[in-house]
Structure 1
Amino acid sequence: MSGRHIPALDGLRGFAALIVMLSHFPDVGLPSWVNHRLGDYGVMLFFVLSGFLMGHLYLGQKPDVAALLRYGVARAGRILPLYLAVSLLSFFLFSYADPAFIYRIDGQQLLRLLSFTSAQPIFWSIGPEFQFYFLFPLIWMAFHSSRPNRPVVLLALTTAICLSYAISSWTPGFSVFAKLHIFIAGIGTALLMKAAPLRPPLAMLVLGGALAFLAAILLSPTWAEPFLFPSTRGDPKHIGYYGDLAKVLLCACVIHSATIDHRLNDWLWGNGAMRRLGAWSFSLYLLHMPAFYLAGYLPMPPAPRAVASLLLAVGIAALSHRFIEGPANHYLRRLLARLFDRQPKVILLPDLSRAEVRR
């Protein structure tokens, strides 16, 4: 089952991008359609899904040099081109063209963005994920360590993960060690899916529970708000969300539920529109705020402008995916083939537009 493409996950990452966008409406003067903290769940879903895909796509392979090269280029190619383009363009726009630009990136902030240590809204979550990409090969190699040493290696790895969670509330929010437990929940979900595939009636229970949770965070019933949406006053790192293992496990349950072969998943997440949003999710995540900023110049009432903002964000993301993300991935695949093997068929990368998630 390792490496098998799961179409519903494409749509689920599109859903994660959508709820992040909706949660940011009040930040640009648009009407509030959902709870303002819903975006934290979108980011958690992205983190869990990233961990899941790392486990699903790679742990079944031996971490030899060729596999590690494929992995490294796939990670870099998926994040760096668009991230660097948006960071640099935002710096020049804010510094030299429009001091009111939505991304207030000055020279100091640019340096932090380039070192993946920025606490800027939107950009902060890229740091933990990119840093996790450097840690994952250690996890990968631990799972493939020699049989006599494997128990000791896995015990040491588990201890390190537990210590990371224990200190997570004191760790900067942009650090992978503040969010490592969320990625690990995703890896654990991938391992669980392979070791014990869900069968009826348990599969239906998990699917129903996951959908009920998603409905609850969307509708935000008053009786559930104390648990689902605790106040972040006095909690600048939102530990009440990212540090709450119950919330993390619920997000992992959502990811697991999307792997169930059921027509409800096909209808909700596997349809063409949601999968397309999933393919554009990284562009949606990074570019929706500039799109909302541009839509602010439209002379229309707030409600129509909210719809126009969403449509503009989707259009810009589609163009970004077509002209930045796609070509960059294609170029890096060819570069790896030319530099390390001279045989492209040996070093083909996973189709990341279909197989992976980004915020």
Structure 2
Amino acid sequence: MSVMGSGRRIECLDGLRGLAALWVLIGHAHILTGFHVPIIGDPDLGVDLFIMLSGFLMVFHYQRRKAVEPWESPETWAFFWIRRFFRIASLYYIMLVIALVLGSRIYDARMVIDAFNGVQPQAANRYLDDSLRNYLMHFSFLFGLMPSYAFRTALPDWSIGLEMQFYAALPFILIVVGRLGWLKGLLITVLLANVAALVVQHRFYFPMPSFLPLKMHVFAAGMLLAGALWMPHRRAYLSFGLALLLVLIPVGGNMTILHEGVRVALVVLFFTLVHADRFPGSAATAARWANSFLGNKFFGYLGELSFGAYLIHLLIMQPVVAWLIANAPMSNSGRWLVTLTVTIPLVYALSFIGYRLIELPGQAIGKKLTRKPQAAAA
């Protein structure tokens, strides 16, 4: 078993989470300003890193808590769902209302951007649908299952619906894994998910991969890397090899050679960081240093603010880009740089406020509701 698997904090997780959010932000700045740089200009890859991290973290916490919260117990499922709901919903609901109320203004900005970049305009109903049905679909987190509602706000919230589907399915996936083992259990889960994805895609078009089977293989890759922390070396490397194969499955996103190569590189990087103790000599030293560096105070803050930055950034960035197009003629690269210079401080300042005033109190409610009587007494 890896030393990290014995309970030591894995320092790099906050840094990777923070970098994933920043990657999405920078990638969207590329798209909106018409300036394109491969890899860093692709926000989908940042989302895939988020998804892999989510799969990893859920299994990591499951492994550490399963002695006191066994997943065979429905009470554990309820506690898990309550905690995850209050971690996500408190800030999301507020940002959702803001996005729907300001939809017409964001839409006007996006029309300026799309016309300038010479691309097909975004559908008006993505920004202008403030109907009760749209509110209900998003407040219930069912929107990711519905192609017509999966991409219907100014937020990049299709992945939030996807995440909630993963949380809903996780207890049942872990029961399968508990009975069949990590490798066989996740392989069967991904196989069934791919069959479901093919059947659904044959009948419906999802504008974004918001339906869990379209991204289950990426979640499963992160889950395997976490489960491997408690495995002997040979099985850990088998899990690593399977994770590499899973991210190559041509479902749920851009499938170019470059994108696939980056996804493989992310798995390699992730495994190297969290399994540093498995490597010999200088390789282990370098991996531990990188792990520690990504866990420093700056990256810790970046990770804590990542959810807010992910939700907020498009609401700030699109009006900024539209204003620059209308009032400050410059090159695409210059507009990209100015956009980031203006947007990043605003986004992270608002994310800090949201984190302190909304996210932390929401998390505290979730913990309070799931505190067992004996733990509360102690």
The verdict on a shared fold, with TM-score over 0.5 as the criterion, is yes
Matched, 1:93 2:108: no
SS in 2 for 1:238: coil
One of 274, 278, 287 as aligned partner of 2:312: 287
- Could you tell me which runs of 5 or more consecutive residues in structure 2 were left unpaired when the two chains were aligned: 111-125, 145-149, 277-286
Matched, 1:252 2:267: yes
Task: Give 1:203-218 correspondences, 5 Å limit.
Answer: none
Matched, 1:104 2:127: yes
SS in 2 for 1:240: coil
- 1:85-110 Cα offsets, whole Å, 9 max, x none, are 11122112226x77536671512544
Q: Percent same amino acid among aligned pairs? A: 25
Distance in 1, Cα, partners of 2:304 & 2:358 = 13
One of 26, 44, 48 as aligned partner of 2:48: 44
Distance in 2, Cα, partners of 1:322 & 1:41 = 28
Matched, 1:163 2:192: yes
Distance in 2, Cα, partners of 1:342 & 1:30 = 57
Give the structure 2 partner of residue 322 of structure 1: 356
Give the structure 1 partner of residue 119 of structure 2: none
Distance in 1, Cα, partners of 2:181 & 2:11 = 37
Task: Give 1:338-353 correspondences, 5 Å limit.
Answer: 341=373, 343-344=375-376
Distance in 2, Cα, partners of 1:11 & 1:71 = 24
**Larger displacement relative to structure 2 (13-22 or 299-308):** 299-308
Q: CA deviation at 1:33?
A: 5.7
Residues 98, 263 of structure 1: alpha-carbon distance in 2 compared, 3 angstrom cutoff: closer
- 1:135-182 Cα offsets, whole Å, 9 max, x none, are 1101222344xxxxx349986764342131245355442110111111
Report if aligned partners of 1:284, 1:317 keep a CA contact under 8 Å in 2: yes
One of 298, 306, 317 as aligned partner of 2:340: 306
Task: Give 1:3-22 correspondences, 5 Å limit.
Answer: 4-22=8-26
Distance in 2, Cα, partners of 1:320 & 1:105 = 25
Distance in 2, Cα, partners of 1:154 & 1:168 = 21
Matched, 1:174 2:174: no
Give the structure 2 partner of residue 351 of structure 1: none
Task: Give 1:144-159 correspondences, 5 Å limit.
Answer: 144=178, 150-151=179-180, 158-159=187-188
- 1:94-133 Cα offsets, whole Å, 9 max, x none, are 26x7753667151254444332321246111112211010
**Larger displacement relative to structure 2 (135-144 or 297-306):** 297-306
Report if aligned partners of 1:9, 1:258 keep a CA contact under 8 Å in 2: no
Q: CA deviation at 1:58?
A: 0.3
One of 272, 275, 278 as aligned partner of 2:300: 275
Matched, 1:25 2:38: no
Q: CA deviation at 1:254?
A: 2.5
Task: Give 1:329-340 correspondences, 5 Å limit.
Answer: 329-337=363-371
Q: CA deviation at 1:246?
A: 6.1
- Could you tell me which runs of 5 or more consecutive residues in structure 1 were left unpaired when the two chains were aligned: 145-149, 211-227, 229-234, 347-359
SS in 1 for 2:24: helix
AA at the equivalent of 1:291: I
Residues 109, 37 of structure 1: alpha-carbon distance in 2 compared, 3 angstrom cutoff: farther
SS in 2 for 1:24: helix
Residues 72, 345 of structure 1: alpha-carbon distance in 2 compared, 3 angstrom cutoff: farther
AA at the equivalent of 2:194: Y
Residues 123, 3 of structure 1: alpha-carbon distance in 2 compared, 3 angstrom cutoff: farther
Q: CA deviation at 1:310?
A: 1.3
TM-score (norm. length: structure 1): 0.72
Matched, 1:265 2:273: no
Report if aligned partners of 2:182, 2:227 keep a CA contact under 8 Å in 1: no
Report if aligned partners of 2:186, 2:220 keep a CA contact under 8 Å in 1: no
Instruction: Give the CA RMSD over aligned residues.
Output: 3.6
AA at the equivalent of 2:127: R
Residues 284, 105 of structure 1: alpha-carbon distance in 2 compared, 3 angstrom cutoff: farther
TM-score (norm. length: structure 2): 0.69
Give the structure 2 partner of residue 71 of structure 1: 80
Give the structure 1 partner of residue 61 of structure 2: 57
Give the structure 2 partner of residue 185 of structure 1: 221
Report if aligned partners of 1:287, 1:317 keep a CA contact under 8 Å in 2: yes
- How many residue pairs match? The answer is 304
**Larger displacement relative to structure 2 (289-298 or 279-288):** 289-298
Distance in 1, Cα, partners of 2:301 & 2:13 = 11
Distance in 1, Cα, partners of 2:185 & 2:233 = 28
Give the structure 1 partner of residue 255 of structure 2: 240
Report if aligned partners of 2:305, 2:352 keep a CA contact under 8 Å in 1: yes
Distance in 2, Cα, partners of 1:151 & 1:334 = 34
SS in 1 for 2:143: coil
- 1:4-44 Cα offsets, whole Å, 9 max, x none, are 43121100111111111111113443755665752111111
Matched, 1:133 2:167: yes
SS in 1 for 2:370: helix
